[in-house]
Chains A and B, each alone.
Chain A
Amino acid sequence: MATVKIPPVLRPSTGGEKEVSAGGESVGAVLTALAEQHPSTKSQLFGENGDLNRYVNVYLNDEDVRVLEGLETPVGEGDTLVILPAMAGGAS
Chain B
Amino acid sequence: MSPSGAEFIRQVKSQIDEVDPADVKPLVGNGVAIVDVRETEEVAQGKIPGAIHVPRGYLESRIEGAAPDRKQRVVLYCASGNRSALAARTLRDDLGYEDVASMTGGFTLWKDRGYEVEVPRAFTPEQRQRYSRHFLLPEIGEEGQQKLLDAKVLLLGAGGLGAPTALYLAAAGVGTLGVVDDDVVDVSNLQRQVIHTTDRVGVPKVDSAEETIKALNPDVEVVKYQTRLDASNIMEILEGYDIVVDGVDNFPTRYLLNDASVRLKVPVVSASILGFDGQLSVFAPYDGPCYRCLYPVPPPAELAPSCGANGVLGVLPGTMGLLQATEVVKLIVGTGEPLIGRLLLYEALSATFTELKVRRDPECPICSRSPEEIGDEEMGVFPDYEAFCAAAG
Which residues of A pack against B, CB within 8 Å? Answer: 5, 7-10, 18, 44, 54-57, 59, 62-64, 67, 82, 84-92
Contact with B306, one of A10, A57, A62, A88 (Cβ below 8 angstroms): A88
**Do A57 and B248 form a contact, CB below 8 Å, given A84-B356, A92-B159?**
no
**Do A63 and B357 form a contact, CB below 8 Å, given A8-B274, A8-B277?**
yes
Contact with A90, one of B159, B183, B347 (Cβ below 8 angstroms): B159
Contact with A62, one of B247, B317, B355 (Cβ below 8 angstroms): B355
Contact between chains at A91 and B350 (CB < 8 Å): no
Which residues of B pack against A, CB within 8 Å? Answer: 156-162, 181, 183, 246-251, 254, 271-277, 279, 294-300, 302-306, 309-310, 312, 317, 343, 345, 347, 350, 354-359
A91 to B309, CA, bound (A): 11
Contact with B299, one of A8, A63, A85, A92 (Cβ below 8 angstroms): A85
B353 CB, min distance to chain A CBs, angstroms = 12
Contact between chains at B273 and A82 (CB < 8 Å): no
A87 to B248, CA, bound (A): 11
For A44, what are the chain B residues with a Cβ–Cβ distance below 8 Å?
Answer: 302-303
| Residue on A nearest B272 in the bound complex, by CB | A87
Contact between chains at B300 and A55 (CB < 8 Å): yes
A59 to B119, CA, bound (A): 51
Contact between chains at B312 and A89 (CB < 8 Å): yes
For B303, what are the chain A residues with a Cβ–Cβ distance below 8 Å?
Answer: 9-10, 44, 55, 85
| Residue on B nearest A90 in the bound complex, by CB | B247
Most-contacted residue by chain B among A10, A55, A57, A89 (CB, 10 A)? A89
Contact between chains at B246 and A90 (CB < 8 Å): yes
9 A-B Cβ contacts within 8 A? A5-B354, A10-B303, A44-B302, A55-B303, A56-B299, A67-B359, A87-B272, A88-B249, A92-B309
Most-contacted residue by chain A among B300, B302, B303, B305 (CB, 10 A)? B303
The 9 closest A-B pairs by CB, nearest first: A91-B157, A91-B159, A88-B306, A90-B247, A86-B295, A87-B272, A55-B299, A91-B249, A92-B249
Contact between chains at A91 and B160 (CB < 8 Å): yes
| Residue on B nearest A84 in the bound complex, by CB | B356
Contact between chains at A87 and B277 (CB < 8 Å): yes
Contact with A89, one of B274, B297, B355 (Cβ below 8 angstroms): B274
A62 to B157, CA, bound (A): 31
Contact between chains at A55 and B298 (CB < 8 Å): yes
For A62, what are the chain B residues with a Cβ–Cβ distance below 8 Å?
Answer: 354-357
| Residue on A nearest B309 in the bound complex, by CB | A92
